[in-house]
Amino acid sequence: MSDEENLVDPSHPRYHSLMIRKKVAAAGEKGMLADSAMIAHGRGEAFDYLIGEQTIPSALAATKEVAARLLRARKPVLSLNGNAIALASQEFLTIASQLNCPIEINIFYRTPERMGALLAHLKLMNTKLGLDVEILGGVPDARIPGLEGPRGACQSSGIFEADTVLVPLEDGDRCEALVGMGKEVLVIDLNPLSRSSKRGTVTVVDEVTRFAKNLIQIIPERPPATEWNNIQGLQSALNHITETMANKFV
Ligand code: PTJ
């Protein structure tokens, strides 16, 4: 544990939130993150505060649906960006191993330095966990149609050919582009109003670390897929926020 981590008192009411923030800061120091990563994280924290820093019932239902769709997919892939790797690399490697599918590192602000740091981190964690998950993204040979520049780069054996893509903390453009390619896009985003949330096939309005831990528990139960109504799920999450807020001072 670093000196700074020791300074956070475990009895602090928001201890877990502060420790999660520290994971982002530490990954930033290792060169894994975009400059705006902490701002994106802060936006997520604000929504997490509003949902009570807990997995709400609609998020748990959505997580079961995600498990079902990943299990029935012909070619699933977990697309991870800097923040997702900083926060839950161990959990996502476990999930990829449960599903026997690859992880593809796919980042919005793509630089060779960041890709190197993220690949090294995931490979190290893979070894530490004794897993053999295929890690893609280092040698892109295909493009996501409609996304210009480095952010459109992807790997043909991964995202490009996948029928189902899990995308935590995605940006709206890429989510739309993946949906446009005919894929099932499974989104994790604390903001139920984001473009990614609205465009995803199934959106889980939950903190990515909590989501990943829940998914690990749910996959072995092999839940069946349903006729998922994503807008209804998002509306439930929004209702939870507004109802909690409405009664806050009563
Ligand atoms: O690693 P890169 O280059 O792909 O860049 C990643 C970031 C996250 C910087 C980039 O994609 C970005 O700027 O994202 P946005 O547009 O700020 O969107 C991030 C979304 O994720 C927001 O809607 C946040 O509410 C949500 N979010 C942030 N932290 C979490 C989260 N959702 C779930 N769990 C979190 N911990």
State whether the beta carbon of 163 lies less than 6 angstroms from ligand 1. Answer: no
Tokens of 115: 């890709």
Residues 163 and 183: beta-carbon distance below 8 Å: yes
Distance CA 82, CA 107 (A): 7
Q: What is the pLDDT of residue 223?
A: 98
pLDDT tens-digit profile of 165-191?
999 998 889 999 999 999 999 999 999
State whether the beta carbon of 84 lies less than 6 angstroms from ligand 1. Answer: no
Distance CA 149, CA 63 (A): 32
Q: What is the pLDDT of residue 14?
A: 83
Q: Is residue 105 part of a domain?
A: yes
Q: Is residue 172 part of a domain?
A: yes
Q: What is the pLDDT of residue 4?
A: 57
Q: What's the count of helices (H) and strands (E) in the chain, helices before strands?
A: 10, 8
pLDDT tens-digit profile of 205-238?
999 999 999 999 999 999 999 999 999 999 999 9
Name the stretches of the chain with pLDDT < 70: 1-6
Share of the chain above pLDDT 70, in %: 98
- The alpha carbon of 250 and the centre of ligand 1 are apart by a number of angstroms equal to 33
Q: Is residue 154 part of a domain?
A: yes
**pTM of model > 0.75:** yes
Q: Which of 30, 36, 169, 215 to mutate to test the pocket of ligand 1 (most atoms within 8 A of CB)?
A: 169
Tokens of 15: 């201890």
Q: What is the pLDDT of residue 227?
A: 96
Q: How many CA atoms lie within 13 A of 22 on its CB side?
A: 14
Q: Is residue 16 part of a domain?
A: no
C-alpha dist (Å) from residue 46 to 91, 142, 168: 23, 36, 17
Write out the residue range of the structural domain in which residue 207 sits. 57-246
C-alpha dist (Å) from residue 250 to 56, 57, 102, 246: 21, 23, 49, 8
Mean pLDDT in the chain? 94
In the chain, the number of structural domains is: 1
Q: What is the strand order of the sheet 76-80 is part of? A: 135-136, 103-105, 76-80, 164-168, 184-188, 202-204
C-alpha dist (Å) from residue 81 to 2, 88, 108, 158: 24, 11, 7, 14
Q: Which of 45, 47, 83 to mutate to test the pocket of ligand 1 (most atoms within 8 A of CB)?
A: 83
Q: What DSSP state is assigned to residue 59?
A: H
Q: Is residue 3 part of a domain?
A: no
| CATH code: domain of residue 153 | 3.40.50.12640
Amino acid (one-letter) located at 46: A
Residue labelled with tokens 């980042």? 107
Q: Is residue 31 part of a domain?
A: no
pLDDT tens-digit profile of 229-241?
999 999 999 999 9
